[in-house]
Amino acid sequence: MSITLVSIIVFVAITLVGIAAGMWVRDLFFAGAGAAGATLPARRLRRLPTVFDAAPQRSLRGRIDQGFERLVLESGSEFTAAAFFLLLMLCAIIAGGILGFLEDDPLLGVGGAMVGILLPLLYIVFQRMRRMGRIREELPIVLDMIARTTRAGKSVDQAIEVVAAEVTGPLGTEFRQCSRQLEMGLSFDRAVRSMAARVRLIEMQILATTLVVQRGAGGNLSETLDRMTAVVRDRMVSYRQMMAATGAGRVSTMIVASIGPFAYLFLLLVHRPHLQLMFDEPLGRLLLLLALLLEITGLVWVFALLRSEE
């Protein structure tokens, strides 16, 4: 590997480290600062409106951008979408640069860069799944708390404040943001619907609709929430039964999907000339491209069949 290419990789890596560190420090310490250094009550309010409040994009690029930003925000990460994207590029450059420099093989460098991008993405996806699972577990408790508070004669706004003060999990964080929005003068309908847009669960959509309709038309909210709590618990039981029933299918899908990448890695490390022949010959490149397309198509199809409604 030439010294020029190494210098370019090092320069890009150092630049990305500086930008990512600066954005992380800004988001961590200065996100609550407003104009002229005024401090806002909550540091996340400065980021509004987010992708949750924006209209869905129709173009493929817009949908990808919104999906990526939604993934980062729904995971509960302290990173913004731009900072996390820089982190992905940094991991790709470090992993790919180290492998390519040590082995003096651009092909191995490309493989290292792909691994450097894939690992943080898998981590953020796992964090999102874990956070959504915790929210689903906390939702019946929150519904019971709102029902008891309204049954005691309190208003819905006061019930939201009680939930924000008492619940400590990720759902409590969302209710605290909703409570702060109400305190700052945002309308009740917009604050509740914004919370439902941030937590994309069907149960939260039903809760938001129930609160908005009750706010406008009146009615016995506590009894409605009691029935809704029973429905949510029944849905959780059904969801666990479905996850248990499809567990073998999901594990077998992961095993089958990992055979191709592991076979590629094995040939890359053990018998590289055989793999290089696949890249040198036109038929080999065509077969590799076809294998990649079939792998992606199969994964999308199987996960679409196994995916539960969130």
The whole model's pTM is what? 0.69
Q: Is pLDDT above 70 for 35?
A: no
pLDDT, position 245: 80
Tokens of 57: 């994009």
One domain for residues 185 and 225: yes
- Over residues 200-246, the pLDDT tens digits come to 888 888 888 888 888 877 778 888 888 888 888 888 888 888 878 87
Q: What is the pLDDT of residues 5-29, one digit of tens each?
A: 666 666 666 776 777 676 666 655 5
Together in a domain, 220 and 260: no
**Residues 273, 236: one domain?**
no
CATH label of the domain that carries residue 220: 1.20.81.30
Residues 293 and 261 in one domain: yes
The percentage of residues in the chain with a pLDDT greater than 70, rounded to a whole number, is 79
If asked whether residues 137 and 231 sit together in one domain, one would say yes
| Of 233 and 61, more confident | 233
Of 227, 245, 263, which residue constitutes the final position of a domain?
245
Per-residue pLDDT reduced to its tens digit, 243-294: 788 777 778 877 887 887 788 777 777 777 777 777 777 887 788 778 878 8
Is 295 contained in some domain?
yes
**Do residues 140 and 215 share a domain?**
yes
Q: Kindly state whether residue 69 falls inside one of the protein's structural domains.
A: no
CB atoms within 10 A of CB 86: 22
d(CA 115, CA 164): 40
**Per DSSP, what are the bridge partners of residue 33?**
39
Considering the domain architecture, whether residues 262 and 241 belong to the same structural domain is answered as no
Separation of alpha carbons 189 and 214, rounded Å: 11
Q: Each residue of 163-191: pLDDT tens digit?
A: 999 888 889 888 998 999 888 888 888 88
Q: Is residue 7 part of a domain?
A: no
On average, the pLDDT of the chain sits at 78
Choose one of 210, 245, 280: the last residue of a domain: 245
Structural domain range at position 274: 251-310
- Assign 1 a pLDDT band (cuts: 50, 70, 90): low
For residue 3, tell me if it sits in a domain. Answer: no
pLDDT value at residue 103: 67
Q: How many domains does the chain have?
A: 2
C-alpha torsion 10→14→15→20, nearest 10:
140
Across the range 32-39, mean pLDDT stands at: 40
Q: Establish if 180 belongs to a structural domain.
A: yes
Q: Are residues 237 and 300 in the same domain?
A: no
What mean pLDDT comes out for the span 89-93?
82
Q: Which of the listed residues 211, 229, 245 is the one where a domain comes to its end? A: 245
Please indicate, yes or no, whether residues 214 and 141 belong to a single structural domain of this protein: yes
Token representation of residue 118: 């894939």
Residues 266 and 177 in one domain: no
67 domain residue, yes or no: no
Based on the fold, state whether residues 226 and 263 are members of the same structural domain.
Answer: no
Rounded to whole angstroms, the Cα distance separating 125 from 119 reads 10
pLDDT at 128 over 70: yes
Residue 289 lies in a domain: yes
Residue 242: per-residue pLDDT:
80
Judge if 219 and 283 occupy the same domain.
no
155 in any annotated domain: yes
